[in-house]
Amino acid sequence: MTLAKRIIPCLDIKNGRTVKGVNFVNLRDAGDPVEFGKAYSEQGADELVFLDITATLEKRKTLSELAKKVASNLNIPFTIGGGISSIKDAETLLESGADKISINSAAYRNPSLIDEIAKRFGSQFLVIAIDAKKMENDWIVHLSGGKIPTSTTLLDWSREVTQRGAGEILFTSMNHDGTKGGFACEIMAKVSQSVSIPIIASGGAGSSEDFYDVFTKGKADAGLAASIFHFGEIGIADLKGYLKEKGISVRI
**What's the mean pLDDT in 181-200?**
97
Closest among 213, 215, 207 to 239, alpha carbons compared? 207
For residue 2, is it within any domain? no
Has residue 252 been placed in a domain?
no
Chain centroid, CA 13 distance in Å: 13
Residue 35 has what pLDDT?
80
Q: Residue 50 domain-assigned? A: yes
CATH number of the domain encompassing residue 99: 3.20.20.70
Q: Are the C-beta atoms of 142 and 183 separated by less than 8 Å?
A: no
- pLDDT, average across residues 50-69: 64
**For residue 250, is it within any domain?**
no
Does some domain include residue 137? yes
**Residues that are catalytic:** 12, 131
Range of the structural domain that residue 73 is part of: 7-245
Domain count, the chain: 1
DSSP strand pairing (100-103 vs 78-81):
parallel
For 103-156, the pLDDT digits (tens) are 999 999 999 999 999 999 999 999 999 999 999 889 999 998 789 999 999 999
- 35 in any annotated domain: yes
H helix or E strand, kind and range, residue 189? helix 185-194
Task: Provide the 3-class DSSP secondary structure of residue 139.
Answer: strand
**How many angstroms separate the CA atoms of 65 and 252, rounded?**
31
Confidence (pLDDT) at 1: 55
Report d(CA 185, CA 211) in Å as an integer. Answer: 10
Percent of the chain with pLDDT over 90: 60
Residue 161 lies in a domain: yes
The whole-number pLDDT of residue 59 equals: 47
Q: Is the pLDDT of residue 24 over 50?
A: no
Q: CA dist 223 to 52, 133, 186, Å? A: 19, 18, 15
Q: Is residue 1 part of a domain?
A: no
- pTM here is 0.90
pLDDT at 40: 87
Among residues 104, 109, 82, which one has the least CA distance to residue 93?
82
Give bridge partners of residue 225 from the DSSP assignment. Answer: 9
